[in-house]
Amino acid sequence: MTTLAGAILLIGRILFAGLFAFSASGHIQHHARYVGTARGKRPIPFVAGWPTGVFLLLADASIVSGIWPDVGS
Picking from 21, 30, 28, the residue whose alpha carbon sits closest to that of residue 58 is 21
pLDDT in tens, 8-52: 988 988 888 888 889 888 888 988 888 888 888 878 888 888 888
**CA separation for the pair 2, 54 (Å, rounded):** 34
Where are the chain's structural domains? 19-72
Picking from 13, 73, 26, the residue whose alpha carbon sits closest to that of residue 52 is 26
Q: pTM of the prediction?
A: 0.72
pLDDT in tens, 52-72: 889 888 888 888 888 887 777
